[in-house]
Homo-oligomer: A and B are copies of this chain.
Amino acid sequence: MRLPEGFTAGATASGIKPSGKPDLGLVHVEPEATWAYVATTNRAAAPCVLRGRRLYADGAGLRALVVNAGNANCATGEPGALDDRRLAELAAAHLGLEPQAVLTASTGVIGVPLPVDKIEAHMGRIELTDEADAFAAAILTTDTRVKLSARELPGGARVVGVAKGSGMIHPNMATMLAYLFTDAEVDPVALRARWPAVVDATFNQVTVDGDTSTNDMAVLFTSGQAGPVADGAFWEAVSAVARDLARQIARDGEGAEKLITVRVRGAASEAEARTAARAVAASALWKAAVHGNDPNWGRILVALGYSGARFEPERLEIRLQETVIYDGGAVAFNGVALSQAMQAEEVVVDVDFREGEGAAEAWGCDLTEGYVRINAEYTT
Chain A residues within 8 Å of B, Cβ to Cβ: 41-45, 74-77, 109-112, 168, 171-172, 174, 209-214, 282-285, 288-289, 291-299, 301-306, 309-311, 313-314, 326, 328-330, 335, 339, 367-369, 371-380
Q: CB distance B372 to A171 under 8 Å?
A: no
7 more contacts with CB within 8 A, not counting A43-B311, A292-B379, are: A43-B304, A43-B305, A43-B306, A75-B329, A112-B330, A288-B376, A367-B375
Report the 8 A-B pairs with minimum CB-CB distance, sorted nearest first: A292-B376, A288-B375, A172-B298, A110-B298, A44-B305, A42-B305, A212-B306, A209-B284
A291/B372 contact (C-beta < 8 A), A172-B302, A284-B210, A302-B212 known: yes
Residues of B within 8 A of A292 (CB): 375-379
Q: CB distance B376 to A291 under 8 Å?
A: yes
Q: CB distance B293 to A379 under 8 Å?
A: yes
> In the assembled complex, how far is the CB of residue A327 from the closest CB belonging to chain B, in whole angstroms?
11
Determine the distance from Cα of A335 to Cα of B378 in the docked complex, in whole angstroms.
Answer: 12
Q: CB distance B294 to A171 under 8 Å?
A: yes
Residues of B within 8 A of A288 (CB): 371-372, 374-376
Residues of B within 8 A of A171 (CB): 285, 289, 294, 296, 298-299
Residues of B within 8 A of A110 (CB): 298, 301-302
28 CB contacts below 8 A, A to B, read A41-B306, A43-B310, A43-B313, A44-B301, A44-B302, A75-B301, A110-B302, A168-B285, A171-B285, A171-B299, A172-B298, A210-B283, A210-B284, A211-B285, A211-B302, A212-B306, A214-B302, A214-B305, A284-B371, A289-B376, A292-B376, A335-B379, A339-B379, A339-B380, A367-B375, A367-B376, A368-B376, A369-B369
Q: CB distance B378 to A368 under 8 Å?
A: no
Determine the distance from Cα of A367 to Cα of B77 in the docked complex, in whole angstroms.
Answer: 31
Q: CB distance B369 to A373 under 8 Å?
A: yes
Determine the distance from Cα of A174 to Cα of B286 in the docked complex, in whole angstroms.
Answer: 12
Q: CB distance A77 to B328 under 8 Å?
A: yes
Determine the distance from Cα of A172 to Cα of B302 in the docked complex, in whole angstroms.
Answer: 8
Determine the distance from Cα of A371 to Cα of B302 in the docked complex, in whole angstroms.
Answer: 18
Q: CB distance A111 to B77 under 8 Å?
A: no
> In the assembled complex, how far is the CB of residue A34 from the closest CB belonging to chain B, in whole angstroms?
30
Determine the distance from Cα of A326 to Cα of B44 in the docked complex, in whole angstroms.
Answer: 13
Determine the distance from Cα of A293 to Cα of B302 in the docked complex, in whole angstroms.
Answer: 32
Closest to A297 in B: B111
Q: CB distance B367 to A172 under 8 Å?
A: no
Q: CB distance B42 to A306 under 8 Å?
A: yes
Q: CB distance B378 to A367 under 8 Å?
A: no
Q: CB distance A294 to B209 under 8 Å?
A: no
Contact residue among B168, B283, B296, B373 (Cβ-Cβ distance under 8 Å from A211): B283
Q: CB distance A372 to B368 under 8 Å?
A: yes
Q: CB distance A75 to B211 under 8 Å?
A: no
